Structure 1
Amino acid sequence: MPSIMAGIAKQQVAATGASIFEFKVGRHPVETDIETVAAVHEAVGPSVSLAVDANLGMRIDDARRFLAAAGHMLADVEEPVVALDGMQRLRRDFGVPVSTHCTDPEKIVHYPAIDNLVGDINVDGGIGGCMRMAAIAASMGRRFWLRSNGETGIGWAPLCHFGMACEEADRSAQSLITWCEDDLVDGPVWLVRDGGVRPSDKPGLGIALDEDAFERYADLYRRRGAFTRFDAP
């Protein structure tokens, strides 16, 4: 696992020009996660910041072991444990910036040590709602960026426009657009290149649905039923 993730990180940073690389932890033994962070850090070099997302998957004792060994290589750890109180204690004990998907200002105000809020454009009110949330986060001394759910081009476009429009969004959003075999929109895919994305100059979000591609996948759904990217072909 460490060598595989290191190879992916090196290839993706070279292709995208990204200044930060984020990946998942919390699924394998904590020793494997520690080794993976070290391998990725060596592969991408000191000029690229590293972040990890545990998806609430670590027990507090494992999170402590992980941060004690790998924390000095990380710019952020997203939701290492289930409870916000646990995240705050880890932040105070190890000094590694912590982020959460909790974007409720009335709740997160009680956890001042949590540094960063990670929004979802589909949950937090679209572009306008996320811009308001970013402004609220900034007023609380926190950074705000957007998560990626493996969007097609239709969902990816508003993430890109948010990044251009929101002054407070000074940290790169997550991007999984390279996971899409077909982004379902006309024209070239809006890939991350040279550290950013260049949207089209078309009206609105700058995209148009590829109706032929949409119909192909609609037919596949009718024949096969629901499935996810994690299912076998």
Structure 2
Amino acid sequence: MSSTRVSGVVVTPVAFADPPLLNVVGVHQPYALRAIVQVQTDSGSVGLGETYADDAHLARLAAVADVLPGLDVYDLNGLRQRVSDVLRLDGSAQVGGMLAIQNPADVVLSPFEVALLDIQGRELGRPVADLLGGAVRTEVPFSAYLFYKWAAHPDREPDAWGAALDPDAIVTQARRMVEEYGFTAIKLKGGVFAPDEEIEAVKALAAAFPGHKLRIDPNGAWTPATSVRVAKELAGVIEYLEDPTPGIEGMAQVAGETDIPLATNMCVIAFDHLKPAVLADAVQVVLSDHHYWGGLQRSRLLAGICETFGLGLSMHSNSHLGISLAAMTHLAAATPNLTYACDTHYPWKTEDLIKPGALDFFDGSIRLPTNPGLGVELDEDALGRLHEQYLACGIRSRDDTSYMQTVQPDFTRNTSRW
């Protein structure tokens, strides 16, 4: 029986408009960067992947793309070996603006693995969820992801969402999200204002949306003592508290003084972090992210470890497009113990490069695509437009802090400030 093999790889960096969303390290730049991976085969199939697009990451993607021709599309272990052989690197790779990954191999592997699974599904006539063990749910719930934000980027027209700089505006933002998408879980990105102001915003959300599950994520903006105080203020109000303070040790201090589950996508972001976190009882919910955990199969391994040690499982998001959302949806659909609504930035985007209709929200959930592979099709014209936008925008890496300092020169990253 002949095998389908990789014949070529195209990596295309793109830029898409991003609102001025505030966070602990600054503010989102006018454009977010992504790289679109197209893996071509000798049978004519094309598989899709999506990942980060800073210059260093693009160089690694290109180096791996050069060695993939000839690879059997079912040989995921062979893919991992080729990635490892190419990326014998030292040092860390900055991911998504905040996270330092010590070994970038998993981050580089992910979009190629997703693309190969997309090809496998297309050739077998089965959705990717079937290749991950089968769907245990056909609708995947997501949460409304709220941000403090400016009305507009400097010297640009206001966006459709307007400013959100106080509790009333956060409630208004949430109401629009809930009305348009049907979300039943709400997450507030914190770490922007003093903790008491953000506590007030969460309580305002609780009053406005009784029955909705609430979360706040200050990205490590608080000391352990402040985190404990906030947890006491929000006991009975939030379903979990995400990354209130930096590091496993700090999280363990907080966990020892509150019954609210602590979630993370900052201190447990690689398999080596799981053992010390479990031993310290530092986190109760791990926010998975296939973009830096090594793809969909490695994320299933993470899910199994979490189940073994009684850890809850949710899903982290960064600014992304539809290929990533499709992969996230298939993974969540096929992961039995991923029982929390997933994060997504998708409602904040105003442009995409997949053909519409495959990933619409109904009652806060996305219905699992049933077409083969990821179930999405690339819009080549849109890909070209967003690539031209990448070439013209001048941004080559995410740097929320430097961008914020162009507006507020004295701004410093807020990590553990309060």
TM-score by length of 1: 0.91
Say whether 1:108 aligns with 2:277: yes
C-alpha spacing 1:189/1:11, structure 2 compared with 1 (3 Å)? farther
Is residue 225–residue 254 contact of structure 2 (8 Å, CA) maintained in 1? Answer: no
Which residue in 1 is equivalent to 2:301?
Answer: 132
- Alpha-carbon separation, structure 1, partners of 2:226 and 2:193: 11
Residue 93 of structure 1 aligns to a residue whose secondary structure is coil
1:1-233 matches, within 5 Å, as 1-45=166-210, 47-101=211-265, 102-103=268-269, 104=271, 105-188=274-357, 190-226=359-395
Return the offset for 1:53. 0.8
Amino acid at match of 1:174: D
Q: Any runs of at least 4 consecutive aligned residues in structure 1 with deviations exceeding 4 A, and if so which?
A: 227-232
- What's the CA shift string for 1:196-229, capped at 9, x where partnerless? 1014332210111111111111112222221769
Equivalents in 2 of 1:224, 1:116: separation in Å? Answer: 37
Residue identity over aligned pairs, in percent, reads 23
Q: 5+ unaligned residues in a row in structure 2: which ranges?
A: 1-165, 405-418
Larger relative contact order, structure 1 or 2 (CA cutoff 8 Å, min sep 6) = 2
Q: Distance in 2 between matches of 1:37 and 1:197?
A: 26
Deviates more, 1:98-107 or 1:162-171: 98-107
CA distance in 2, matches of 1:106, 1:62: 26
In 1, distance between residues paired with 2:278 and 2:230? 26
Unaligned runs of 5+ in 1: none
Amino acid at match of 1:121: H
Using the size of structure 2 for normalisation, the TM-score is 0.52
Cα deviation digits, residues 100-159 of structure 1 (max 9, x gap): 120432232222252111111111121111111111101100111210112100111100
Give the letter for the 1:79 counterpart. Answer: D
Larger Cα Rg: Structure 1 or Structure 2?
A: 2
Distance of aligned partners of 1:191 and 1:55 in 2 relative to their CA distance in 1, 3 Å threshold = farther
Cα distance in 2 for residues equivalent to 1:125 and 1:196: 25
Shift of 1:83: 2.2
Give, in whole Å, the separation in 2 of the partners of 1:150 and 1:195: 18
Q: Deviations over 1:176-202 (max 9, x none)?
A: 111111121012262332131014332
CA RMSD of aligned residues (A): 2.1
SS at match of 1:21: strand
8 Å Cα contact 1:147-1:174 kept in structure 2? yes
**Aligned counterparts of 2:298 and 2:361: Cα–Cα separation in 1:** 24
Instruction: Name the one with the larger strand percent.
Output: 2
* Structure 1 residues 118 and 81: alpha-carbon distance in aligned structure 2, compared to 1, 3 A threshold: same
- C-alpha contact 2:241 2:262 (8 A) present in aligned 1: yes
Q: Is the 8 A contact 1:117 1:142 kept in 2?
A: yes
Query: Bigger shift: 78-87 or 12-21?
Result: 12-21
Aligned residue pair count: 231
- Paired letter, 1:13: V
More helix by share: 1
Shift of 1:59: 2.1
